[in-house]
Structure formats: structure tokens, C-alpha cells
């Protein structure tokens, strides 16, 4: 897994929290008693859950101690713990399992989602959002830069790129039969950012981490410069000088039957 930085991630908190908030808003539960936020990061999504359901027992977990430390500072009364989304299972009745932008990193995540949906009590909800941007220029440029430079051999050994998400019909066929209701949709967000360097700063907090973590300081600087040059070609400036980052995301809300 990449090395996560809460401060880097939160540079774009408003934009990153928007899909999290929209996912919370689509959960069709009135008064869940117990909620778990998988891949809670610095606690921005957990805070949304706690605000919507203030009487619920809300907990969050992550693999990153840096993220957990930030989450505990943000929500000192909330339980946060370290765990892996690939193997975690609820230890009792959970009404809502929620996850914003985590499962795209989990190998065979569809099978994990099916297992978690099965673990819910009847009427419980599994609510998930995942970036679906592997074919966007921002991520294509990562792979092209990784293959074109003195770092190519190092990065080739690292197994960097996450797998593309399955199609929506694949999720439907595996999860809908266990669901009393199943909702799946795509949203493409448009983020105006301050030039190519704005896009680089954005992805340094997420998708670019596996590419730059294995490099030493000098190689990292050269990689980022080469990557930014590709980004500048792929994202031309608009009339006000900003560039537009298109960001597709996949949402799933399944209520167990």
C-alpha cells in the first residue's frame, strides 16, 4: 500500500468531501445504531456520518497511522482503529458499512464487498464510492511517465497500477441478488484547479503515491517534472488560466434483504 499523508490529502478537502457527502445523503436509513467507516482517512467522511446520525455509534478504521492520527485529532470522541479493508469483518450487528474512495485499492474487492454485505443484518446498508479514473489522462500519464525514465526498472518491479473497476453490470449481478434494494451510478466531477501543478498536487495525495514512494528524492523530483509536463499537454488552460480535472466516480448503495 502507498504511504499516505493526511496533510497532502486535505489540501483539497472540500472537493474530496463532496462525493463523500453525496454518498452519505443517498443512504436510505433513518436511524442506524452502529456505523463503520472503512478507510476513514483523516476523518472527513467519518465526520459527515456523525453529523447525519448524531445518536449512532460511529467508528472508523484505516491502514495508515498518519491518517488515523489526523482523524483522532479531528474527532476525539470517535473510535478509530487500525485494520485492513481486505480482511476486516464486523464483530457484531452493524447497520451501515460505509467506504469513500478505499476499495479501488483492495485486490478482489468485489468479493470483499459481497462478504461485507452478507455480514450485515437484514435491512443494513453497504455504501461505497470508488474512483473510476484509470483511463483518465491524469492516470494514463502516470503509467507513461513510469515507463519512460531512469526509474522505469524500479517502478516496473513495484506493480503500481491498481486494477480497473469492473463494469456496473458485474457489481449488479454479484450484489443485487442479496439486496432488498441496489443502487449503482456514476458521477463525473469537474474540478477547476490552478494549472497543471494543481493536478499534480491533487494526485500526490492519492493515485500518484505508488509511483513516487519507491523513488529517492532526486528521482522523485525528476519524475514529478516529467509527469507535470505530460499533464500540461493533456489539460490545457481554460479562459481564466485554470485547468479542469475530470474525475469519474462509481457509487453503490446496497440494502441487505
Residues 104 and 45: beta-carbon distance below 8 Å: no
What pLDDT sits at residue 206? 83
The most distant pair of C-alpha atoms in the chain lies apart, rounded to whole Å, by 55
Its pTM stands at 0.92
Q: Tell me: domain 6-256, CATH 3.40.50.11540, correct? A: no
Locus of grid cell 499523508: 5
Give the whole-angstrom CA distance, residue 254 versus residue 181.
Answer: 6
What per-residue confidence (pLDDT) applies to 5? 57
CA 238, 230, 202, 252 dihedral sign is positive
What residues contact residue 127 under an 8 Å CB cut-off, 6+ apart? 23, 24, 26, 27, 96, 97, 98, 99, 252, 253, 254
Cβ atoms 228, 151 nearer than 8 A: no
Nearest-angstrom CA–CA distance, 203 and 181? 34
| pLDDT tens digit at each of 257 positions of the chain | 556 555 565 566 678 889 999 999 999 999 999 999 999 999 999 999 999 999 999 999 999 999 999 999 999 999 999 999 999 999 889 999 999 999 999 999 999 999 999 999 999 999 999 999 999 999 999 999 999 999 999 898 766 667 899 999 999 999 999 999 999 999 999 999 999 999 999 998 888 988 999 999 999 999 999 999 999 999 999 999 999 999 999 999 999 99
Check: CB of residue 256 under 8 Å from CB of residue 120: yes
pLDDT of residue 15: 83
Return the SS3 of 11: helix
- What does the radius of gyration of the chain's CA atoms come to, in whole angstroms? 19
CA–CA separation, 57 vs 23, rounded Å? 19
So what's the pLDDT on residue 64? Answer: 92
DSSP SS3 for 249:
strand
DSSP, residue by residue, 94-113: -SEEEEES-GGGSTTHHHHH
Q: CA 205 to CA 216: how far, in whole Å?
A: 18
DSSP letters for 53-97: -TTSEEEEEES-HHHHHHHHHH-TTSEEEE--TTT---SS--SEE
Instruction: Report the distance separating Cα 79 and Cα 115, nearest Å.
Output: 23
CB contact at 8 A, 77 and 18: no
Tell me the HSE value of 85 on the side-chain side, using a 13 A CA sphere: 30
* Residue ranges of domains in the chain: 6-256
Amino acid at each position: 500500500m502507498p504511504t499516505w499523508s493526511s496533510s497532502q490529502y486535505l489540501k483539497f478537502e472540500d472537493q474530496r468531501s463532496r462525493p463523500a457527502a453525496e454518498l452519505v445523503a443517498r443512504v436510505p436509513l433513518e436511524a442506524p445504531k452502529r456505523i463503520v467507516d472503512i478507510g476513514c482517512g483523516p476523518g472527513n467522511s467519518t465526520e459527515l456520518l456523525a453529523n447525519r446520525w448524531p445518536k449512532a455509534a460511529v467508528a472508523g478504521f484505516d491502514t495508515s497511522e498518519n491518517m488515523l492520527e489526523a482523524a483522532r485529532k479531528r474527532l476525539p470522541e470517535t473510535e478509530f482503529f487500525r485494520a485492513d479493508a481486505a480482511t476486516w469483518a464486523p464483530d457484531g450487528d452493524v447497520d451501515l458499512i460505509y467506504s469513500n474512495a478505499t476499495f479501488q485499492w483492495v485486490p478482489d474487492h468485489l468479493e470483499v464487498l459481497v462478504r461485507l454485505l452478507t455480514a450485515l443484518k437484514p435491512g443494513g446498508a453497504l455504501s461505497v464510492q470508488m474512483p473510476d479514473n484509470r483511463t483518465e489522462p491524469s492516470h494514463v500519464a502516470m503509467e507513461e511517465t513510469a515507463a519512460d525514465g531512469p526509474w522505469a526498472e524500479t517502478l516496473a518491479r513495484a506493480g503500481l497500477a491498481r486494477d480497473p473497476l469492473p463494469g456496473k453490470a458485474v457489481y449488479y449481478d454479484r450484489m443485487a441478488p442479496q439486496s432488498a434494494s441496489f443502487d449503482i451510478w456514476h458521477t463525473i466531477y469537474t474540478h477547476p484547479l490552478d494549472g497543471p501543478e494543481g493536478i499534480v498536487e491533487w494526485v500526490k495525495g492519492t493515485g500518484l503515491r505508488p509511483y513516487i514512494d519507491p523513488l529517492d528524492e532526486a528521482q522523485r523530483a525528476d519524475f514529478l517534472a516529467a509527469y507535470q509536463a505530460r499533464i500540461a499537454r493533456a489539460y490545457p488552460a481554460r479562459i481564466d488560466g485554470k485547468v479542469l480535472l475530470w474525475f469519474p466516480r462509481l457509487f453503490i448503495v446496497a440494502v441487505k434483504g
